[in-house]
Amino acid sequence: MTAPRYDVLGIGNAIVDVIARAEDDFLVAQGMHKGGMALIDEARAASIYNAMGPASESSGGSAANTIVGVASFGGRAAFIGKVKDDELGKAFAHDIRAARVAFDVKPATDGPSTARCYIMVTPDGERTMNTYLGAAQDLKPSDIDEATIASAAVVYLEGYLWDPPQAKEAFVKAAEIAHKHGRKVALTLSDSFCVDRYRGEFLDLIRKGTVDIVFANEHELRSLYETADFAVASVALQKDARLAVVTRSEKGCVVITPDAIDAVPAMPIDSVVDVTGAGDLFAAGFLVGHSQGKDHRTSARLGALAAAEVIQHIGARPAVSLKALAAENGLVL
């Protein structure tokens, strides 16, 4: 096995975030489920955009945010996802490359426009998302380059890839290549409604060992095992997974291995501005630690540090160097 060229390669929906503040009443009037991610069509996208307040655009996408976080920690990072050859697509590609992430997927020249996610941030800092998948739907197995996958220590996949029809095949192809080359595969369950849509398939991936590392928040974990009881769900996941990390917002996370369920606290912070990206950046920190051979608790602390940074400002990508932040906090990489 040759030494990996990348620490983490992410595969996910390439999305531009359109972020605005909103009152809870707005979510109710629009029939949006607070804290969730809903898929919308182009007409609904236009109607939400008309109704929402002043918005700012920034490159996003769950796995893409994680990969930018990995690069900010000084990790070697690459991303695979599909944009269109339009203004938003160019912005997405520019931003991810400017963050020192390798991104070589050819943009689509026809078909739907680059994906957008309308994100409503309520006064409590919670985010509610509506995604128009657009060009991201066209990610297909031929976009998965064997040499690139083979050269990454960990391939990180988002559960949201189960929504675009061919992306699922791309996901499975990437996981097979990774394992053929002795690499690891990580999966985030993405969203509790996403788990609801694909529960059986996700459980299958975990139980069959297609996935080595599972990331979930507690809502996703409960949805996976259809129980309200966190302890019951954690023990169920312990039986199914080799390594899993379940995040619990301000309560931190638990790292689950066959031997232990180990709680690691969150970083205390003064006030939450926008939780968008908390889970994504947590995964970035954990994966960087893991790929550098740190113990699970240290990796979880790196995750908590990155998540704490991203929730103290608007937007889902780090505003400072996470490598420098880690050093300030005595976590040397």
Ligand X SMILES: Nc1ncnc2c1ncn2[C@@H]1O[C@H](COP(=O)(O)OP(=O)(O)OP(=O)(O)O)[C@@H](O)[C@H]1O
Name the strands in the sheet holding 115-121, side by side, starting at the edge strand that comes first in the sequence: 37-39, 127-132, 115-121, 15-21, 56-60
Find all residues with CB under 8 Å of 140, minimum gap 6, and list them.
166, 167, 169, 170
Q: Residue 163 gets which letter from DSSP?
A: S
> Which residue in the shown chain puts its C-beta closest to ligand X?
279
Partner whose footprint covers residue 159, from ligand X, Mg ion, none (CB < 5 to 8 Å by kind): none
Please give the sequence-ordered ranges of beta strands (E in DSSP) within the chain, or none if there are none: 6-11, 15-21, 37-39, 56-60, 77-80, 101-103, 115-121, 127-132, 152-158, 184-188, 213-217, 243-247, 253-256, 261-264
Applying CB under 6 A, does 217 fall inside the site for ligand X?
yes
* Residue 291, burial from CB neighbour count under 10 angstroms (0-12, 13-18, 19+): buried
Q: Which is nearer to ligand X, 144 or 311 (CB)?
A: 311
Q: What values do phi and psi take at 128, rounded to 5?
A: -125, 125
- The correct pick among 250, 257, 263, 324 for binding ligand X (CB under 6 A) is 250
Q: Build a one-symbol-per-residue string for 22-61: x at contacts with ligand X by CB under 6 A, - elsewhere.
A: ----------------------------------------
DSSP 66-104: HHHHHHHTT--EEEE---BSSHHHHHHHHHHHHTTEEE-
Of the candidate residues 308, 314, 325, 326, the single one contacting ligand X (CB under 6 A):
308
Between 113 and 131, CB nearer to ligand X: 131
Cβ at position 329, least distance to ligand X in Å: 13
Closer residue to ligand X (CB): 99 or 311: 311
279 binds Mg ion (CB under 5 A): yes
Report the relative pairing of strands 115-121 and 213-217 from DSSP bridges: unpaired
Q: Is 277 in the site for ligand X (CB under 6 A)?
A: yes
Among 272, 273, 313, 333, binds ligand X (CB under 6 A): 272
* 68, 120, 121, 253: which one binds ligand X (CB under 6 A): 253
Looking at beta carbons only, is 6 or 79 nearer to Mg ion? 79
* One of 127, 173, 222, 290 touching ligand X (CB under 6 A): 127
Spatial distance between the Cα atoms of 36 and 275, rounded to a whole number of angstroms: 12
Q: Kindly state whether residue 10 participates in binding ligand X, applying the rule CB under 6 A.
A: no
The answer to the question of residue 248 lying near ligand X (CB under 6 A) is: yes
Residues 63, 174: Cα–Cα separation, whole Å? 14
Which residues are 296's β-sheet partners?
A: none
Minimum CB separation of residue 250 from ligand X in Å reads: 4
Rg, the chain, Cα only: 18
Which lies closer to Mg ion via its Cβ, residue 39 or residue 91?
Answer: 39
Q: Which of 22, 282, 296, 309 binds ligand X (CB under 6 A)?
A: 282
What are the C-alpha distances in Å from 99 to residues 78, 151, 282, 332? 10, 20, 18, 21
- Residue 139 binds which entry of Mg ion, ligand X, none, with Cβ cut-offs from 5 to 8 Å by kind? none
Q: How far apart are CA 297 and CA 300, in angstroms?
A: 5
Query: CB under 5 to 8 A by kind: which of ligand X, Mg ion, none does 175 bind?
Result: none
Q: Are 331 and 298 in contact (CB under 8 A)?
A: yes
> Binding of ligand X at residue 247 (CB under 6 A)?
yes
Report in angstroms how near the CB of residue 286 gets to ligand X at its nearest.
10
Q: Which is nearer to Mg ion, 279 or 318 (CB)?
A: 279
272 binds, among Mg ion, ligand X, none (CB under 5 to 8 A by kind): ligand X
Strand residue runs (E) in 189-297 = 213-217, 243-247, 253-256, 261-264
Residues lying near ligand X in the complex (CB under 6 A) are found at 127, 217, 247-250, 252-253, 266-267, 269, 272, 275-280, 282, 304, 307-308, 311
Residues lying near Mg ion in the complex (CB under 5 A) are found at 279
